[in-house]
Amino acid sequence: MNKIVVLGFIGSVLLLAVSVGADFKYYKAERNVTISIVNDEQELISLKPVQPYAYISDNGELIIDFSTENVNYKSGYGMGISPDSKYVFDCVFAVSNDLWENQTVVVDLDASMEGQSVILLYSPSSEDNQGPSMAGYNLTAIIESGEEACIGIILDTSEKSLGEYAAEITIHGYLHSSEV
């Protein structure tokens, strides 16, 4: 009989412990978070125009424009690029690692499908696309703390008709895997 009472008591204690723990619904705490949204050239991983073909727009985006619509365009210097030609532009813009921590970052650049018809990317900071002869639609560059990677662009208009071509380059940045 004592055994049954002891087992009943232990069961009641366990039931009480489980029901008290299951009753916890949430925890509320107020903390301050400050986030600054800044232009591309002021970010922790920043985009900096180097050639006159690249500039930062009024809404903070890096724009690469080889037409008369470019804010740096000077009258009389041409209206675009030629058909059936290949243009190689070294260091059109730079991606810099301005993180406060001493950490290496990896950046991936991908030309949109529209851009793959005319744009190729390269950078001396890339293992796979170090120069114009190795340029591709995608680029991965490793950037040490306080350093930057210059991004070159090849425009290939072979077999392209006259007109305007628009594309996007998507850039992703993350910590180098050996530091995660």
Question: Tens digit of pLDDT per residue, the chain (180 long)?
Answer: 666 765 666 766 566 555 555 555 556 555 555 455 555 555 677 889 999 989 988 888 888 888 888 888 888 888 888 888 998 999 999 999 887 778 888 888 888 766 667 888 888 877 777 788 888 888 899 999 899 999 999 888 888 888 887 888 888 888 887 644
| Domains delineated in the chain | 40-179 (2.60.40)
> How far apart (Å, rounded) are the C-alpha atoms in residues 171 and 110?
7
pTM more than 0.85: no
Q: Which residues pair with 106 in a beta bridge?
A: 142, 174
> How far apart (Å, rounded) are the C-alpha atoms in residues 103 and 37?
21
